Chains A and B, each alone.
Chain A
Amino acid sequence: MKKPILIFIAMSSALISVTADTNTLILAKELLEENSFELSAIEFRRFAMESDKDDEKAAAYLYSSYAYLQSEEARSSNEMLDRSEETAATSDYTKEHSLLSAESARLQFDADSALYFYEELAGDSMPADFQTFARRRSAGIYFSQGKVDAARSELEASPADEGSSLEALETFIDGNNKSPLAGGLWGLIPGAGYWYSGEVANGFRSLILNSLFIYGMVSTAEDEQWGAFAIITFFELTWYSGSIYGGVDAAQRYNQDRFETALQGIESDMTYRPDPKIVVPLFKLNIHF
């Protein structure tokens, strides 16, 4: 074959290859912006596999890891992080790696690993927004474990003003949980189980339905209509057991809501996203408060 023809074929192949790569990257970014995280992760991964440049690969794997994390696939996210680390011999993504590793561990309820990575991020050498993020997340983990003093210490060590987070923590400490056992016992009186946890309207509905069906039972028994009595009794047993169960469930939901409100207050509204201006071969996570 003549050289010019070969050169032409080679250049065409190269051009097609580059176009394919660019399209993959554009698609991956668009999917990320649309919050189609799983699809985006796959496209970034494809781009990383197709690329022959180490820094591009490393950044694309990080994007993929981020996207997997957003779609709550911690295992795949970790795998992408590992690949990025293996590829990025020269790149420096230390804080991004730590942040994604910490978030992945948090997603998998691996508190010890998450705290380790957050501790790294909370170091003095890290930017202030990363430190704040890490301190709040650590405080949230300690709080979830019931270690309120440790949570308070983390918030106090944060470089940002954590007044509202500390207030949320103190409000939780000052409040009291409802006892599910007490809720169940109060539920023996139809409606009282709900009232115990502050659900007034639900309590009245339970009381009215139970009263009506008890009246129906008494009335049919007096008239010796045993068929109707059996049917009404079946429904009354359902309502009555519902009142007891509702008392326990209302207390559990009350406690859960109280916990989640406090946790949300402690962590505040924090998000992190890749910088939209930066694309591979670079990667940078921006934290928003």
Chain B
Amino acid sequence: MVLTALPVQTTLKLMDRLISNRFHQLLKKSIPVHIMVGMFFFCAYSWAGNLELAVDLFEKNDWDLCQRECRRALLSKAEPIERFSLLEALSSANRGADSASTAQKLQHIVTENRDTQVTGMASYELGRLQWQFDDLEAALNSFQLAFQTTTNKTLFLRSSCSIYLLIKEAPELKAEKEDVIHQVGTVRDQWYGALFAECAKPDPSKNEPQAPNWIVRFYRSQISPAIGNRCTLEPSCSEYFHQAHQHHGLKSFPMIADRFFREPEVSNQKKDPVVMKNGQIRYQDPLENHDFWMKKK
């Protein structure tokens, strides 16, 4: 995400300067006016602090808390509204919100706000969403807007690289955008290897958990319904096998056999109970307790 490049410190410094200027202007005026205006700018300063907190939460991928922080700020109409709106939209997208509603929010930010930096960022993220849904022409326009409005170097390079990759995917769009393509060509020497992976067409399936293999699927669809929910450990044996298979491949077979041997003893020890949604009590026996020594180097 390009949002990490948000210049929070710059915002704080600007507000500092504003407070300082207003302070000198008002120094000679009446005290109540000074207090009132001071209070206003103090509040503005606090909001900037909240933005810093929201950005920090965003950087930590703490989408829930970041979204809550932004909503709190937006409810209290805290400035800079555009940035909070953008953060809120991106956090909700990362939380798995509906892409169409995220695109709508981003579109709204792009058209309504007055902050060119925010326009650039929102436009770029919108472009990525449009690209994901194969709306190539709209995506190209969004990337172009980001490329031409931003003054942020990271976003500038990313949008240029995305334009390049998008044109490569859809050469028929080249004819309409020759000027932009020429401009993109002038910054190519600044691109670096990792940029291509970062700017490639978004593939949400990459982040999705891997589907269980056929053995687990067969067990869950054909055997488990017949014999019932018998496992007393958490994660269940099929989930344990799935995780083991993901991490250790064929070693998952001896690992699940070992678990069958151990299951009664772990249950009898009654350590680390977990109450499941259906009220069943299970005992924790995670994969980490049995593969920690494989990870040792």
Contact = CB atoms under 8 A, between A and B. Distances in A.
B177 interface: no
A42 B53 contact: yes
Interface in B13-70: 30, 32-33, 35-36, 39-40, 42-43, 46, 49-50, 52-53, 56-57, 60, 62, 65, 69
B174 interface: no
B295 to A, nearest CB: 11
Interface string B279-294: 0000000000110110
B254 interface: yes
Nearest to B255: A245
Contact of A209 (B256, B261, B293): B261
A10 B257 contact: no
Which of B30, B36, B49, B290 is most buried by chain A, counting CB atoms within 10 A of its CB? B36
B32 A3 contact: yes
B36 A241 contact: no
A224 B46 CA distance: 82
B53 A205 contact: no
Nearest to B262: A202
Nearest to A249: B290
A199 B265 contact: yes
B43 A14 contact: no
A59 interface: no
Given A13-B36, A201-B265, A202-B265, A245 B50 contact: no
A265 interface: no
B183 to A, nearest CB: 39
Given A13-B36, A253-B289, A6 B258 contact: no
Contacts of B292: 252, 256
Contacts of A206: 261
A9 interface: yes
Interface in A113-127: none
A242 B257 contact: yes
A7 B30 CA distance: 10
Nearest to A3: B32
B274 to A, nearest CB: 18
9 contacts: A13-B39, A46-B53, A201-B265, A239-B257, A242-B256, A242-B261, A246-B254, A249-B258, A249-B290
